[in-house]
Structure 1
């Protein structure tokens, strides 16, 4: 998922074609699970410094952070998402960018939120993205990542474009390889949904 890669184009075009539908289904914080709001809110309260919402999609989580008093910015590959988010949440800064081309000084951030935004990356691409996230964070900065829980790296037919499962153990190993240490993790299974997991880590 490096800048201007074929993977980037596939993801961007896939979501651009369904941006209106996706925003209607998932673009309001009130549509999000209470457990996720609690998880992300608690994480944000422990972050010291500016936060990047990487792959912000419709922008609702970035707005959620800003409404809590966090200095947060949202980036996404999909111009349609950024245009709509900027119109719906004019108090929040958004721009078109990717983690690997975020134009953020190294070591300048206190936090990176990657909530289901890295699910389409292949295993090799995911390592590059986690490395890019680590580069943006100062020592002690925090990353929160949400993903689908399952066999490590296994591809499945997501509604937009191919996505990948990761186990908590497998994702933790990748995070540790790219300069992070575990804070905590959680996982759950809900009827009618794919298994979910999230991991909070600190940059070391």
Structure 2
């Protein structure tokens, strides 16, 4: 898989803004659903104390192969194996698109639990409605469901989980290049309230 970020300057700008916020974080940054580790590595180049986590042992192995100096854990978004309030920031870059609707509230509750008070969460996701099943991506055979969601629905679920939405961005689809997109791309920045010390 080639580096999709290299062709998307607006996406890099979103991550750059997140990195500026994260530099003052009290705790490490985790890239949840990191895949082969490209966003983890990008955040590392921006000077963040970052590590990646993914459900797939194959993806974790690939990330470790590509980025041997970085840490990558196996784990599930539904049951994060980190202490309450132990993470400074979380980035979930196109990883919630693989989470079914019925599990998303639990995922956001887990994000809130492990974030430190005042910690930020950066989401990136495909917008729209419904589910698209894909069997190929960047020349590789896959079998994945991609859940598309309206940004206002994602924001509502974040607020219900106790995370305050601080910024929203909608980018029109890039229909050209090596990674053509079919729908607008959504970016939401949320924060665990400063006074929230609970799990």
Measured against the shorter chain, the TM-score band is: 0.7 to 0.9
Contact in 2 for aligned 1:186/1:199 (Cα 8 Å): yes
The correspondence for 1:156, drawn from 128, 132, 138, is: 132
The correspondence for 2:159, drawn from 176, 183, 193, is: 176
Q: Give how far 1:155 is off.
A: 2.1
Q: Give how far 1:69 is off.
A: 1.5
Q: Give how far 1:29 is off.
A: 5.9
Bigger fraction of residues in helix? 1
Contact in 1 for aligned 2:36/2:66 (Cα 8 Å): no
2:188 matched residue in structure 1: 199
State the distance in 2 between where 1:147 and 1:182 align: 15
Q: Give how far 1:148 is off.
A: 0.8
**Within the alignment, does 1:125 sit opposite 2:108 as a pair?**
no
Q: Give how far 1:136 is off.
A: 0.6
Bigger fraction of residues in strand? 2
Q: Give how far 1:102 is off.
A: 2.7
1:34 matched residue in structure 2: 9
Unaligned runs of 5+ in 2: 136-142, 176-180, 194-199
Question: What are the within-5 Å matches in structure 2 for residues 22-61 of structure 1?
Answer: 24-25=1-2, 28=3, 31-47=6-22, 48=25, 49-61=27-39
Question: In structure 2, the residue corresponding to 1:42 is in which secondary structure?
Answer: helix
Q: How many residues align?
A: 177
State the distance in 1 between where 2:96 and 2:52 align: 15
CA RMSD, Structure 1 to Structure 2 (Å): 1.5
Question: In structure 2, the residue corresponding to 1:101 is in which secondary structure?
Answer: coil
Contact in 2 for aligned 1:181/1:203 (Cα 8 Å): yes
The Cα offsets for residues 99-152 of structure 1, whole Å up to 9 and x where unpaired, read as 23331111111111001101121211111111111111011110001111113x
**Within the alignment, does 1:71 sit opposite 2:54 as a pair?**
no
Q: Give how far 1:156 is off.
A: 2.4
Contact in 2 for aligned 1:29/1:64 (Cα 8 Å): no
